[in-house]
Chains A and B, each alone.
Chain A
Amino acid sequence: MPKRMKITFEKGGELEAEFLEDKAPVTSRIFWKALPIDATMIHCMSAGHETYTDDIRVSEPIPEENLVHAGKVGDVATVSGRQTTYLTQLEADGMTTLCFVYGPDQRFMGTNVQTNRATVFATIRDLKKLREIGHRMRIHGKEKVKMIPIEDKSEAAKWRK
């Protein structure tokens, strides 16, 4: 059974993301190990329908796995320090980025000009709730989020029905 995490938003709403351990095994392991995570997410200003945070402390550099340039709704991604200058700096500080794609028009960007390919390592299935939260952050600004691991198998089975 895939590992999952629960994401709770300050202004309401919860999402569950399922790790893509087959496609991004190292990144999934790094993020799983980093949980629980408290961060502030904000809407992007160059990448379209995406919310993100750069405040994720990780124990090792993010590899380039399951690389995607134009994200799909529900994609949960991070970006290797090899992709753009700021991410290299972030990696050197032991941090990384985390992005949620919530709408159909999105591409991963390093700056307003430099493009990225992101490591998509998890997926969110409740797209209606994800879009509602994404649009809320677009209009009303940043929010604190808490991410915790889901380890209860009975709860997982219920969710998968």
Chain B
Amino acid sequence: MAKMIKINFEKGGELVATLLEDDAPVTCKLIWEALPVSEKILNTNISGQCLFCDYIPISGNLPTENLRHFGKGGDVATISPIEYIENTIKGYAPIYIVYGPKTLSPHQDLHKTPIKYDDDTVIHRFKKTLMETCRANIFAKIDDLETLNEIAARIRYNGMEGFTVARLQ
């Protein structure tokens, strides 16, 4: 049975993610060994529909595995220093949780004019600066997109909150 992690949020809600050990074995191992971790999580201001935290303490070197540039709703990712050297903090890895899809965008509740997304609309891409793109290691997947989007909307509207990532035994 695949290993799973649970992500609990300070203001309520729990998400379960299945580790993709076949696609990203080293990344899964490093993250698994780092757990549990409690930190703060926030919506990105450059990458679109994505929550992030830069401070997951890890004990080894992150390789590049299962690389993606455009994230999909439910993707849980980190970025290797190979892709992210300028932003890398020694001893730590970032974690990213991509939300969506377009039809579940929290924007729908915020604006008086509902957004009608079309095929041109890209909800997310991994970036290291405002101008430079990068690729991320997708190492886990969240299936409950409805709960993910509710939590993501809350963080997007109301700001940073605490979260804990732990092993699901």
Q: A residues bordering B, Cβ < 8 Å?
A: 40, 42-50, 54-55, 85-86, 89-90, 93, 95, 105-107, 111-114, 137-142
Can you sample 26 A-B contacts with CB below 8 Å?
A42-B156, A43-B45, A45-B43, A45-B44, A45-B47, A45-B50, A46-B45, A47-B46, A47-B130, A48-B45, A48-B130, A49-B45, A54-B112, A54-B113, A55-B112, A85-B120, A89-B115, A90-B113, A95-B113, A111-B122, A111-B123, A112-B48, A112-B123, A112-B124, A113-B122, A140-B159
Q: Closest CB of chain A to B52's CB: distance in Å?
A: 11
- A142 to B125, Cβ gap below 8 A? no
Given A48-B130, A49-B45, answer yes or no on A42-B157 (Cβ-Cβ < 8 Å): yes
- Which B residues are CB-close (under 8 A) to A114? 120
User: Of all chain B residues, which has the CB nearest A136?
Assistant: B159
User: Of all chain A residues, which has the CB nearest B161?
Assistant: A141
- B121 to A45, Cβ gap below 8 A? no
- B130 to A105, Cβ gap below 8 A? yes
Residues of B37-55 at the interface with A, using a CB-CB cut-off of 8 Å, are 42-50
Instruction: Give Cα A107–Cα B127 distance, bound, in whole angstroms.
Output: 14
- B160 to A89, Cβ gap below 8 A? no
Q: B residues bordering A, Cβ < 8 Å?
A: 42-50, 110-113, 115-116, 118, 120-125, 129-131, 156-160
Q: Closest CB of chain B to A156's CB: distance in Å?
A: 32
Beyond the given pairs A86-B121, A95-B112, 6 more chain A to chain B contacts, judged by CB atoms under 8 angstroms and listed by A's residue number, are A45-B46, A46-B45, A85-B121, A89-B116, A112-B47, A141-B158
User: Of all chain A residues, which has the CB nearest B155?
Assistant: A141
Out of A90, A107, A141, which one reaches B130, CB within 8 Å? A107
* Number of A-B contacts defined by CB within 8 Å: 82
- A140 to B160, Cβ gap below 8 A? yes
Q: Is chain B's interface secondary structure helix, strand, loop, or mixed overall?
A: loop
- Which A residues are CB-close (under 8 A) to B44? 45
- A46 to B46, Cβ gap below 8 A? yes
- Which B residues are CB-close (under 8 A) to A107? 130-131
- Which B residues are CB-close (under 8 A) to A141? 156-159
Which 9 pairs between the two chains have the least Cβ-Cβ distance? A141-B159, A112-B48, A141-B158, A140-B159, A113-B122, A48-B130, A93-B113, A112-B122, A54-B111
- A45 to B122, Cβ gap below 8 A? no
Out of A40, A45, A48, A139, which one reaches B160, CB within 8 Å? A139
- Which A residues are CB-close (under 8 A) to B124? 112
Q: Closest CB of chain A to B6's CB: distance in Å?
A: 25
Instruction: Give Cα A139–Cα B49 distance, bound, in whole angstroms.
Output: 16
